[in-house]
Structure 1
Amino acid sequence: MCMDAFSAEGSFWRGNLHTHSNRSDGALTPDEVCRRYAAEGYDFIALTDHFLGIYGYPVVDTRAMRKDGFTTLLGAELHSGAMQNGELWHILAVGLPLDFTPPNAPHFVPVDDQETGPQIAERAAQAGAFVSIAHPQWSAMTLDDARSISAAHAAEVYNHGCFAGADRADGFATADLLLAEGRRLSLIATDDAHFTEPDHFGGWVMVRSPENHPDALLQALKDGLFYSSQGPEIRGIHLDGDLVDVECSAAASVIVQGQGSATAAMHGHSMTRAKIKIGRLANSPWLRVTVIDAAGRRAWSNPYWR
């Protein structure tokens, strides 16, 4: 059986789903952010400025920045209510309408009479957005916090800005615990670029879609037809009996993870194919794959539910 992202119709398109401009706390104009991503070979980005009153609640209209070979998805980083640690929620929403109704979120500090994080996430999903739990480690998010975002399509498992600025890039512990509870989340890597530090071009998604068009990309994201990367390519994943067959760019390690502590791995030099016996993973309800190159850069599949 071939995993859907590698058998679905279309091509892979490279995109960043978490980006900021000077419409909130980023350093560059929306035009310049888009120009730089296009120049770096990206096929699309979502500009997701902070949806707060101090910035005028922006869902930045980037439609004029679309051109042949490069497109944009509209979105924002939503904030409303407090997590268990008392800090403001951060929720990524890609595919928002331009007229999405703002919450009562004047600034980066929670205030009384706000929607909760779960409520604004649900409202964004109902408006058609692809919703992700943002940077769990950076936010010091509890598992109960993460559980509460029932509308999420995905969890942000690698955030390059949180790596560069805080060494808190990870979301896999949270994501794997939610998967273990049966939550069918996909896994995204992003930049969270502000261009105020080296927080850009470090994590992205490769989305399988018939065309590089906002509607097609958004549907593919919701359907989980993508993998995430810092550099390596995943070219195919097949499950054949007790084997996971992975095709990839040159890798030093290919690891299959499942529920609990179960893993299986193959290590070598410039591997472009790895056939791995699932062994202890045989009873796991889901599997995911990590490909690591000689420089330590990673690519991650979405979970495959067996």
Structure 2
Amino acid sequence: MQLSAFSRPGRFWRGNLHTHSTRSDGVLPPEEVCRRYRAEGYDFLALTDHFVGRFGYPITDTTALRAPGFTTLLGAELHSGAMANGELWHILAVGLPPGFAPSNSPDFAPVPDQESGAQIAARARAAGAFVAIAHPQWSGLTLEDARSIEAAHAVEIYNHGCATGCDRPDGTAIADLLLGEGRALSLIATDDAHFSEPDHFGGWVMVKAPENTPEALLAALKDGAFYSSQGPELRDVRLHDTHVEVACSAVATVILQGRGTAAVAHHGHSLTRAEIPLTRFANSPWLRVTVIDAASRRAWSNPIHRPA
């Protein structure tokens, strides 16, 4: 069994799914944000400004900023309802239609009579968006919070802005617990760039699609045909009867993770292939791969859901 990111037709396109501009609380206008990502070799970008009344509920129109070799996806970071800690939800929605109806979210605090996070996430998915639970560690999410977002396609496994701004970049714990409960989720790395600190060009997705168009990219994201990275390349991940086979760019560590304490690491120098035995994973219904290079940069596969 080969993960769809490596088996489906097409090529890999590099993109960032979480970005802000002066349409909300970023410091650069949309034109300059897109210019910088394009100059850095990105193939696509989603500007996801904060969807609150303070900023006029923006779904930033970047269609005029598309160019040969570079495309954009419309989206927003949605806010509505309170998490268990009393703070407002942050939900990433990429591929929103321009006419997506505003929530009752005047600012960055919950108010009475507004949608819950689960409700606005479900509404975004129904409108055609790829929906992700943003920065679980930064948000202080509980497992019960995360469970409630049944419409999520993905969890942010890494958020570069939360790494540089507060050392809370991680989504692995929440993602693995949800996977252990049977949720079919993918894992995304993002920048959450505002350009007010070094919060950019640090985490991205590599999406396998036949062409670099919004429609093809969005379909591949929803299908889980991608991997996430801070630098290393994943080139193949295959599940065999007795082991998982991984091919990648040169790394120092290849790790196979599963439910609970199930994990096996293979260490070496300039590793480009590894075979991890499944002995410790007999009771794990899912598996995922992390590779780490000599500079401690990571890449993450999407989960492999094993047949029952």
Output the TM-score relative to the length of structure 2: 0.99
Query: Which residue in 1 is equivalent to 2:12?
Result: 12
Deviation by residue 1:102-132 (Cα, 9 ceiling, x = unmatched):
0110000111111111000000000000000
Q: One-letter code of the match for 2:173?
A: A
Q: Any conservation in 2 of the 1:74–1:96 contact (CA below 8 Å)?
A: yes
Q: Give how far 1:148 is off.
A: 0.2
C-alpha distance in structure 1 between counterparts of 2:136 and 2:298, whole Å: 19
Match of 2:294 in 1: 294
Task: Report the CA distance between 1:217 and its aligned residue.
Answer: 0.3
- The residue type paired with residue 144 of structure 1 is E
1:1-306 correspondence to structure 2 within 5 Å = 1-306=1-306
Cα pair 1:286 1:305 within 8 Å, conserved = yes
Code of the residue aligned with 2:293 in structure 1: it is D
- Spell out, residue by residue over 1:268-304, the C-alpha distance to the aligned partner (whole angstroms, 9 max, x if none): 0001111111220122111100010000000000000
- How far residue 28 of structure 1 moved from its aligned partner, in angstroms, is 0.2
Using the alignment, how far apart are the partners of 2:240 and 2:76 within structure 1? 40
Deviation at 1:224, TM superposition (A): 0.3
Give the Cα separation in 2 of the matches to 1:147 and 1:283: 22
- What's the Cα RMSD here? 0.6
Runs of 4+ in 1 over 6 A off after TM superposition: none
Contact between 1:264 and 1:279, CA under 8 Å: does it hold in 2? no
Distance 2:83 2:276 in 1: 40
Q: 8 Å contact 1:242–1:282 — kept in the other structure?
A: no
Q: Which AA in structure 2 matches 1:58?
A: P
Q: CA deviation at 1:266?
A: 0.8
> In 2, distance between residues paired with 1:134 and 1:50?
12
8 Å CA contact retained: 1:121, 1:152:
yes
Q: 1: distance between equivalents of 2:240 and 2:101? A: 48
For residues 71 and 174 of structure 1, the distance between their equivalents in structure 2, rounded to whole angstroms, comes to 31
SS of the aligned residue for 1:5 comes to: helix
SS in 2 for 1:227: strand
Partners of 1:79 and 1:3 lie apart in 2 by: 33
Q: For each residue in 1:174-200, what CA deviation from the matched residue of structure 2 results, as whole angstroms up to 9, or x when unmatched?
A: 000000000000000000000000000
- Any idea what SS the aligned residue of 2:123 has? helix
Count of matched residue pairs? 306
SS in 1 for 2:136: coil
Alpha-carbon distance in 2 for matches of 1:57, 1:216:
26
Classify the secondary structure of the residue corresponding to 1:179. helix
1:80 and 1:4 map into 2 onto residues whose CA distance is: 33
Structure 1 residue 69 displacement after superposition = 0.4
Percent identity for Structure 1 against Structure 2: 73
Structure 1 CA distance for aligned equivalents of residues 135 and 276 of structure 2: 31
CA distance in 1, matches of 2:169, 2:231: 16
SS in 2 for 1:197: coil
